[in-house]
A = this chain, B = another copy of it.
Amino acid sequence: MNNSLLEQGNFTLPGEAGYEDLTLELAERWGADAIRDSDGTVLSDRIITAGFDIYSTLCLIRADNEWAKANQDKLQQNYLMSYPVVANSDTVRIDLLNGYFREQFKVNVNDNPQTWWQVFDRTSGQEIPADQWEFDPNTGMVTITRVEKWHKYTVNFLAYRIWEAISMYNHITNNWGDREHLMPVDPIYPQTQEFMLGFLEKWLADHPRTEIVRFTSMFYNFAWFWGDSPNLRYIYSDWGAYDNTVSPYALREFSKTRGYTLTSEDFVNGGAYCSSHQVPSARYLAWLDFTNDFVVTFGRQCIDLVHRAGKEAYMFYDDHWVGTEPYGDRFKDFSFDGMIKCVFNGFEARLCAGVQGVKTRELRLHPYLFPTGLKGEPTFKTGGDPTRDARNFWVNIRRGLLRESVDRIGLGGYLHLVRDYPDFVDYIEELVGEFRTLREICQNDKPYTAPFKVVVLTAWGKLRSWICNGHFIHGLELNELIESLSGLPVDVEFMNFDDILEKGIPAEVKVIINSGRAATSWGGGEHWKNDKVIAAITGWVAQGGGFIGVGEPSACEHKGQYFQLSHLLGVDRANARSLSKEKFVYPKPDGQHFIMADVEGELDFGEDVGNIFVLGDNTRVLADKAGSPRVAVHSFYQGRSVYFSGFKFTLPNTRLLHRAIFWAAGVDHDFDYWTCSNVFTECAYYPQSKKLVVINNIDKPETTKVFDAHKQGIEVSVAPLGIEIIQL
């Protein structure tokens, strides 16, 4: 295989001033056609003029700290909830920032607290009237009077962020010492917009050699609240949350356009904030929509300037991505030229590949060239093994790329760190070659795919297609499941409950998957109380649809039921209400079923759900543990359902899911086309080029039969983590 790998192009190299020889040597070695800078590095003239496309990163909201310092009333804000304080008399004093990282936050003393803040008795749930509390800007304390002794009190208050979170993270991780703290400014104000557009115009003029402006990203970072204690450095972090978009100005604008007013508690939500794991309320979704409208509108003005300067604009799909919503209807209106996503996994590759409205999609691979990984684990330092990491990430990403490719890949960070890792340099050379070869095959060709669609049903739907809440959350059933799905030969669509009610279930859909725990956005939570949802899905299954439920599908304590679709699934989960109920005794599972055909040994679903019981004779349990079904199937009129007690991304489980999808769809007889007999291998057949690509997903040599369009087996051997391309 290696001999045929393509050697040039589609690769972005992070350059580094001071290491010009290394930069140019690796650009040659890895076949780069573009060189970028990173947060903390710059490119020198020698690099810029070496004949490569130049990507320059630009984060407008932290780009000019002088302006930020001079306009501190324009810094970005968010609501914080003070830590609860229990009253031990009729007066309570709360130090608002107690527990929070005071280098990140500063209480907003410019906007009237009595107008914009709220104080709550969290024991009774009552809001405290504004005349019962007072804020002292000198001490940062709120004093609440006439309180109930031994009740718990909190203050929702506005804080400016005085250190931009990503540069704060980089600063602290890399010990940048007394380098100035960058502050994030808020583009919601006309003055900030005027400044930013002026800054951008000048910047564009100052960077004549830059072909591509890589925006990092637009304006609002995902929520990341830091703590004061070294034992609680990160208090709250949510990749999809809009906490950082709030300001009195924006809230007033919202009221004007929507006709109603949001309160601090709409964001603080009892201290849970509006994390992506919770079912978004209609009010919160309206705020997302309002913010997205603003970000696209002003973002477009920035991108227009870039285009007028003869450059292209790419967006980095992380960091300050909040408000851009690449899967929203307005995203195309930005007129971005490219999208760059940093990825570890297959689902993230699909997330990037599936974005509409850009012509170039690029993956920023991991490991980032940085001493430590995202969780502080060593990478390019003692104890790290960046080559192993790169291989592990790539093998999963490649699964996704086989189904839907992207245009480019790249790296980021501090290039000089690779000098001590020659095997990493070798491996990246191989990896980039493999990518180029795959890309050439995939371009303008769609591999064989099952002739029906699979819907993943969540409270978020399309807006959070191919992602839950940032990078892989291990143990979150839906995240595990979409990682498996990312490499399966099925078309996947993400829908929410409104979609089902408003548009119905599209005719090409044969399977709906609902995966998650009760009260989460992934499961659907309160949406399952809607009888119209139940009737729509029930009727659709009765007419031949397939339903796959994972963990606590359709779970919501309501009207005496827990799994609201128990009549489809044939199982439900016991809870406090059913402690006096006995469980139906089902026959011992014998594993003899189409979907279990490739299962060997005990299933590994991670921390799956117990206390499942079957409703009666019509439920067939295919696997169980301690008397609780783990895999069960059930028919309902013309339709079929499958229950999994959990899910974990493993190759055998991926096969189990693949089979479950085909069985639920009622097309198990068509399963064999273009599948591998060996679950550690996967294949994709590209009909235009008549090329069959077979990948080995484990670090051992494997042999497999690939069943073709006539279900005839073709024997293929693949090297450890290798790839075979066969011309048919």
Contact with B along A255-286 (1 / 0, CB 8 A): 00000000000000111110111100000000
Q: How far is the CA of A88 from the CA of B538 in the complex (A)?
A: 10
With contact pairs A151-B535, A518-B576, A531-B123 given, residues A542 and B88 touching in the complex (Cβ less than 8 Å) = yes
A560 proximal to B (CB < 8 A): yes
Q: Say whether A578 contacts B617, CB under 8 Å.
A: no
Judge whether A237 and B580 touch: CB under 8 Å: yes
**Which residues from chain B contact A564 at a C-beta distance below 8 Å?**
123
Interface 0/1 of A551-565, CB less than 8 Å to B: 000000011110010
Q: Which residue of B lies closest to A227 (CB)?
A: B582
CB of A385 closer than 8 Å to a CB of B? no
Q: Are B270 and A560 in contact (CB under 8 A)?
A: yes
A231→B581 contact, CB < 8 A: no
- Residues in B with CB closer than 8 Å to A121 are 531
Residues of chain B contacted by A88 (CB below 8 angstroms): 542, 637
A244 at interface, CB cutoff 8 A: no
- Nearest chain B CB to A388's CB is how many angstroms away? 25
- Decide: A151 near B531, CB < 8 A? Known: A84-B567, A232-B584: yes
Distance of A561 Cα from B584 Cα, bound (Å): 36
Q: Do A152 and B567 touch (CB < 8 A)?
A: yes
**For chain A residues 563-610, which have a beta carbon within 8 Å of chain B?**
564, 567, 575-586
**From A150, A476, A558, residue with most partner B Cβ within 10 Å:** A150
Given A150-B539, A539-B150, A567-B86, verify A579-B534 contact (CB < 8 Å): no
Residues in chain B near residue A580, CB distance under 8 A: 223, 236-238, 241, 273, 275-277, 469
- Nearest CB in chain B: distance from A238 CB, A: 4
The one of B86, B235, B519, B582 in contact with A234, judged by C-beta atoms closer than 8 angstroms, is B582
* Interface check A124, CB cutoff 8 A: yes
| B residues in contact with A275, CB < 8 Å | 577, 579-581
How far in angstroms is the closest Cβ of chain B from A358?
28
Residues of A143-202 at the interface with B, using a CB-CB cut-off of 8 Å, are 148-152
Are B559 and A150 neighbours in the complex by a CB distance under 8 Å?
no
Q: Are A149 and B539 in contact (CB under 8 A)?
A: yes
User: Interface 1/0s, chain A 113-136, versus B by CB < 8 A?
Assistant: 000000011111100000000000
Instruction: Report B-chain residues with C-beta under 8 Å of the C-beta of A125.
Output: 531, 558-559
Q: How far is the CA of A560 from the CA of B564 in the complex (A)?
A: 25
Alpha-carbon gap, A121 to B576, bound state (A): 23
- CB A505 to nearest CB in B, in angstroms, measures 13
Roughly how many angstroms separate A120 CA and B561 CA in the complex, as a whole number? 13
CA distance A575 to B121 in the complex (A): 22
Known contacts A123-B559, A271-B560, A580-B469; A538/B585 CB under 8 A: no
Asked if B535 contacts A576 (CB within 8 A), the reply is: no
- Across-interface contacts of A234 in B (CB, < 8 A): 582
A520 within 8 A of B: yes
- Inter-chain CA distance A637–B88, complex, in Å, is 9
State whether the Cβ of A403 lies closer than 8 Å to any Cβ in chain B.
no
Q: Does A297 contact B (CB under 8 A)?
A: no
Residue of B nearest to A615 (CB): B83
Complex-state Cα separation, A704 to B491, whole angstroms: 70
> What's the nearest-Cβ distance from chain B to residue A555, in Å?
11
State A238–B581 Cα separation when bound (angstroms).
Answer: 8
Residue of B nearest to A230 (CB): B585
Q: Which of B241, B519, B534, B584 contacts A151 (CB 8 A)?
A: B534
| CB proximity of A645 to chain B, nearest CB, Å | 16
Contacting B at CB under 8 A, from A437-486, are 469, 476
A229: CB under 8 A from chain B? yes
A307-333 CB mask vs B (1 if < 8 Å, else 0) is: 000000000000000000000000000
Give chain B nearest CB distance to A566 CB in angstroms. 9
**With the chains together, A517 CA to B533 CA distance in Å?**
30
Q: Complex Cα distance A104/B52, Å?
A: 86
Q: CA–CA, A517 to B611, complex, Å?
A: 15
14 further contact pairs, Cβ within 8 A, besides A123-B559, A271-B560, A277-B580: A86-B567, A88-B637, A122-B561, A124-B531, A124-B559, A151-B535, A227-B582, A229-B584, A232-B583, A275-B581, A469-B579, A469-B580, A476-B579, A519-B577
